[in-house]
Structure 1
Amino acid sequence: MTTPSPWTHVTQAAAALAAGMGVGRFVYTPILPLMHTQAGLSAGAGANLATANYVGYLVGALAGILAPALVRSRAVLRGSLIVLAGTLAAMPATHSTAVWAVLRLTAGTASALIFVVAAGSLLHHLREHPPHLSGWAFGGVGAGIALSGLLVLVLRSVSDWRTAWWASAALATVLTAAAWNLRPEDPASTLMPGSTAKARTHRWFSALFIAYTLEGVGYIVAGTFLVAAIGQGSPGWVGSGAWVLVGLAAVPSAALWARLGRRRPRTDLLLAALLVQAVGIALPALVGGVATALVSAVLFGATFLGISTLALATGAQLRFPRSVALLTAGYSVGQIIGPLVVAPLLRHGYQQALLLAALVVLAAAVAAGVLRIGFPHHMVVVRPTAPGRRRESTEDAGARDPLAPHSAD
């Protein structure tokens, strides 16, 4: 029997992530300005809808943690993809903010379940392949952002917000078809645990947890309001065009950061990525103009997936119990807090919100700087060789696979 090409699996996982995250979660960003001007949505209500989506994401993420069987279920993947497309198509059917909130909360839950199934599938089926393959699969998030942003950019001049939602639902449906046969993690599989040696890593994990939670707060403000902020001081096409650039920059970012992680300590890369992202978020609030907006988009798109990859891999390297679960929970809570914190500032436009978000990401960088102090870069790792046998290695945990932290959990 011929072994299927790993690129087939990469493509299917990328399509699932593009639908679940790039479209289902982030298409709201370029549609938000249209809903402000055409559907009468206030800035505060827009922030509340964003929060509803992030609460739903936390619910889905916790479900995947508490019920591991969900991660290995093709039915959960397919059902979540269908529900997600349905919530997108239903958005234009009402003007009720309460109904919109329920739809966005449901979409967030579906997005999280799609993510955990796709991530588990990648870790299981691509475990023995080069790390950049998983990175390219996670680039599907960026591809979904770029495709949905391009769709809204084209439609904004010829149609309205309703059509934008219906078109995004159609795009999610096409991506669902491409991801339909994605093989989840084998239900019978068991992941080889890491070394049972108890390392005193609490201080470093605490710094990592704080950094990643703050990143959740800061990045989501830009991820929600960047298009609207740019659109306030630039021609209408610039905001949507910038969001397309965010997606395009994100496509190769996880794979590139994974490669860099084999040459430089992840703690150094995490600090650098946070500093670059802070600059990218602050730029549109400090300097106007089309060029600034586009540079901001590239810097943000090139870092937000990389930061997640680096943070989770660092948690695995520390072998802290349930590191992925804890980091994901902190990140999700940060995403809920972000829009709520900046909501009072939105009455005066988006500049203050972006500046606050940049400061929060800078605070995350400070925590990442603390993380670097005395960090145990080389820890003994137990790697599987053959069934029933294990071998030890002193390479960085997760260095072979940028997503190894999930398997370590």
Structure 2
Amino acid sequence: MSATILRRSPDRSDRSDGPPGSPWLHVAQAATALAVGMGVGRFVYTPILPLMHAQAGLSAGGGAHLATANYVGYLVGALVGILRPALVRSPKILRGSLTVLTGTLAAMPFTHSTAVWIALRLTAGAASALIFVIAVSSLLSHLRDHPAHLPGWAFGGVGAGIALSGLLVLALRSVADWQAAWWGSAGLAVVFTALSWNLRVELPHTEATDPGVVTPPRPVRTHRWFNALFAGYTLEGVGYIVAGTFLVAAIDQASPGWIGSGAWVLVGLAAVPSSALWAWLGRRWSRPDLLFAALVIQAAGIALPALVGGVAAALISAFLFGVTFLGISTIALATGAHLRFPRSVALLTAGYSVGQIVGPLAVTPLLHHGYHQALILASAVVLAAALTAVVLRIGFPHHIPDDTTDGPRTRPAS
């Protein structure tokens, strides 16, 4: 994903496919795009996975391969956004991606072929990435002069999509099968697609011609901090996605019934206000400190159901995971933008995507013994990411002149 220093122009800033409105309208449309692209398109697979294991004959290894295919597709979509930045300003690409993603959800029940499922999840991943890149680029460019909590609430659309799709699967699992769960998620995607169809994606007039390049007022070398951030965010991609893929299955294994799907709904509900919350905390604490705290909290949440059984541990784990995974992304993207590293958001997204590919592959050998070892390994990787935040805070340049971000605008305490 890429963004730029934007200069608002009265005659072009409101150019869109729909009528201009309040910033909250833009927030709502971006939130619904993120809800379908990420909350449903990517994460509905998590609560459906146990149903596919039980009813569709999908093996544990096959489940990991489907997850990996989705993350490979996401990386492809992210790279397209890097190599063809004009695409992130195209309403046609947004609408095409929304349509393709919804179609892949609806097509999943029509086959029992793992190879076809892999192809569908690969395609869904690419569409999800393009939706994310386009929606976030639009959101952050049009709202850059508004309070930081506004983009934060829009990012909460991911959590809303997770919660609503999780509730849908929870309701269907007692009266229908895995096929109905996929069709139901496709129907939910249709609703979100309609609500986000007219999202303004053309960027306001800019003085820069390349929306992937951030031009500082004077040279500021921030490579060493960006390298630490990049390493940590890539490790976060490895660790978080193991929990994001297998948390429900792990809880179902220890506590059969509604607990797994219920915990996933709690993940979504906790994620809705999380980005706005971390943006608010960013007014009082520095970004490296916030990143460290969020990563440590997430590591504890991922490890909890593997170390402590029972419903309470499962629900606490879900809450800690939900309240941190979007927050970590918003903090990391904001930090990269603050450092004024060229194409910081796109590069961080690509590293994150690579981590998501590695994660399921790394834990596949452990799945023969259940999910607990996989969660412990994921927790350890997230703790390693927290250590990079310690490195990041050493000499961190809190004040860079004319700080305009291409990510969520959280500012450290002065």
Q: TM-score, normalised by structure 1?
A: 0.92
| Cα distance in 2, alignment partners of residues 311 and 166 from structure 1 | 35
Q: Give the Cα separation in 2 of the matches to 1:382 and 1:298.
A: 33
Give the aligned partner of residue 74 of structure 2: 57
Question: CA contact under 8 A between 1:131 and 1:400: conserved in structure 2?
Answer: yes
Find the aligned partners of 1:77 and 1:190 in 2 and give their Cα distance.
Answer: 24
Q: Does 1:231 align with 2:252?
A: yes
- Among residues 41, 48, 54, which one is paired with 1:31 in the alignment? 48
Q: Distance in 2 between matches of 1:90 and 1:399?
A: 34
1:317 counterpart = 2:338: yes
Query: 1:123 offset after TM fit, Å?
Result: 1.6
Structural mapping, 1:155-170, within 5 Å: 155-170=172-187
- 8 Å Cα contact 1:245-1:297 kept in structure 2: yes
Which of 332, 341, 353 pairs up with 2:353?
332
Displacement of 1:199 in angstroms is 2.5
Conserved? CA contact 2:306–2:376, under 8 Å: yes
SS at match of 1:121: helix
Aligned equivalent of 1:378 = 399
- Structure-to-structure mapping, 1:202-351, within 5 angstroms: 202-351=223-372
Task: Give the C-alpha shift of residue 399 in structure 1.
Answer: 9.4
Which secondary structure does the structure 2 equivalent of 1:303 belong to?
A: helix
Whether the 8 Å CA contact 2:330–2:408 is kept in 1: the answer is no
- 1:72-95 residue CA offsets vs partner (Å, 9 max, x unmatched): 111111111111110000000000
Amino acid in the other structure paired with 1:182 = L
Match of 1:401 among 401, 404, 409: 409
Greater mean deviation of Cα atoms: 24-33 or 113-122 = 113-122
The AA in structure 2 aligned to 1:100 is W
Aligned to 2:59: 42
* Deviation larger for 116-125 or 215-224: 116-125
Partner SS for 2:360: helix
Identity of aligned residues (%): 75
2:199 aligned counterpart, secondary structure: coil
Give the distance between the partners of 1:189 and 1:199, measured in 2 at CA.
21
Q: Distance in 1 between matches of 2:337 and 2:144?
A: 15
- Contact 1:130–1:400 (CA<8 Å) still a contact in 2? no
Letter of the 1:97 partner, please give it. T
Distance 2:195 2:187 in 1: 13
Identify the residue that residue 98 of structure 2 maps to in structure 1. Answer: 81
Q: Deviations over 1:311-334 (max 9, x none)?
A: 111112222222222211111100
SS in 2 for 1:302: helix
* 1:66 alignment partner AA: L
The answer to whether the Cα contact below 8 Å between 1:134 and 1:402 also exists between their aligned partners in 2 is no
Deviation at 1:380, TM superposition (A): 1.6
**Helix, strand or coil at the partner of 2:258:** helix
**Whole-Å Cα distance in 2 between the matches of residues 379 and 6 of structure 1?**
27
Amino acid at match of 2:150: L
Distance 1:205 1:73 in 2: 29
Corresponding position of 2:116: 99
Equivalent pairs, count: 390
Higher relative contact order (CA 8 A, sep 6+): 2
Tell me which of 126, 131, 139 is aligned to 2:156. 139
* Cα distance in structure 2, aligned partners of 1:399 and 1:166: 34
Residue 337 of structure 2 contacts residue 407 of structure 2 at CA under 8 Å; is this kept in 1? Answer: no
In structure 1, the residue matched to 2:5 is: none
Q: Which residue of 2 aligns with 1:359?
A: 380
The amino acid that maps onto 2:193 is T
Structure 2 runs not aligned, ≥5 long:
1-13
Structure 1 portions without partners, runs of 5+: 384-396, 404-409
SS of match in other structure, 1:328 = helix
Deviation at 1:181, TM superposition (A): 1.1
**Contact 1:69–1:187, Cα closer than 8 Å, also in 2:** no
- Measure how far apart 1:194 and its partner are: 4.0
Partners of 1:400 and 1:367 lie apart in 2 by: 21
SS in 2 for 1:263: coil
The answer on whether the counterparts of 2:238 and 2:355 sit within 8 Å (CA) in structure 1 is: yes
> What amino acid is aligned across from residue 130 of structure 1 in structure 2?
P
Secondary structure at 2:317 match in 1: helix
8 Å CA contact 2:331, 2:408 repeated in 1? no
CA distance in 2, matches of 1:154, 1:232: 19
Distance 2:146 2:216 in 1: 22
The residue that corresponds to 1:392 in the other structure is none
1:91/1:3 Cα in 2 relative to 1: closer, same or farther (>3 Å)? closer
CA RMSD in angstroms comes to: 1.8
SS in 1 for 2:270: helix
CA distance in 2: counterparts of 1:90 and 1:400, whole angstroms: 35
The AA in structure 2 aligned to 1:259 is W
Kindly tell me: are residues 382 and 150 of structure 1, through their superposed partners in 2, closer, same or farther at Cα, counting changes over 3 Å? closer
Distance, in Å, in 2 between the alignment partners of 1:3 and 1:149 is 33
Is 1:150 the counterpart of 2:167 in the alignment?
yes
- The alpha-carbon deviation at position 400 of structure 1 amounts to 7.8
Q: CA deviation at 1:375?
A: 1.2
Alignment partners' CA distance in 2, 1:196 and 1:42: 55
Task: Check conservation: 2:217, 2:401, Cα contact below 8 A.
Answer: no
Letter aligned with residue 54 of structure 2: T
Note closer, same or farther for the CA distance 1:312–1:186 as it changes in structure 2 (3 Å cut). closer
